[in-house]
Amino acid sequence: MKRLFPTASTMLLVSVLWCSLLLAQEPGGPKLVLKEQEFNLKEVMEGKVVEHVFRVLNQGDEPLKIINVKPG
């Protein structure tokens, strides 16, 4: 009986450490990163065409697929 407690304690400790390591890892996949989230065009004359380029970076480990874009 005395040998059972240290063995069970050790197994419990190893299990807790293993689970914490699994939960601490970041999930893989694509990671979209924008250097700027918004851009203010201020006042624009009616009929004038304006544009701005947002640089989109993928810092993940899988291809990034942009399926839908909505203007704000």
pLDDT digits (tens, 9 = 90+) for 16-36: 777 676 666 667 899 999 989
Nearest C-alpha neighbor of 58 from the set 46, 48, 68, 66:
66
Distance of alpha carbon 7 from alpha carbon 37, whole angstroms = 54
The DSSP bridge partners found for residue 33 are 57
Is residue 54 in some structural domain?
yes
Distance of alpha carbon 10 from alpha carbon 16, whole angstroms = 10
Whole-model pTM: value is 0.48
Whether residue 68 is predicted with pLDDT greater than 70 in this model: the reply is yes
Whether residue 57 is predicted with pLDDT greater than 70 in this model: the reply is yes
Residue 21's identity, in one-letter code, is: L
Distance of alpha carbon 39 from alpha carbon 3, whole angstroms = 67
Is residue 35 in some structural domain?
yes
Average pLDDT along the chain: 83
Average pLDDT over residues 27-49: 89
Structural domain boundaries enclosing 39:
4-58
Structurally, the chain folds into a number of domains equal to 1
